[in-house]
Amino acid sequence: MLARIPGVYRVVRLLRTDRFHIPARQATRYQTTRMFLGGDAAHAHAPLGARGMNLGIEDAACFARRFVEGTLAGYAG
């Protein structure tokens, strides 16, 4: 990653290196009979990028639109 930083520089001493993992989990199904999952119950992401709340709001809007249209059978989050 250091090679991608623009500019002219010279690393004299590296103090620390580490591995970084961003966990992401998603439910295999968002609907079982009359129960629907959305937001954090359906998927979890690392707080980096602030996607959690945004995805929950998007899930709620998608669910509401499908509910009004009567197309909940295809709801997938």
pLDDT in tens, 12-66: 888 888 887 777 788 888 888 888 888 878 887 777 666 667 788 888 898 899 8
**Residue 46, CB-side half-sphere exposure with 13 Å CA sphere:** 6
- Beta bridge partner(s), residue 32: 35
Residues 6+ apart with CB under 8 A from 76: 30, 31
Whether 29 and 14 have beta carbons less than 8 Å apart is answered as no
pLDDT recorded at residue 48: 67
| C-alpha 49, offset from chain centre | 9
What is the pLDDT at residue 68? 93
Q: How far apart are CA 28 and CA 76, in angstroms?
A: 10
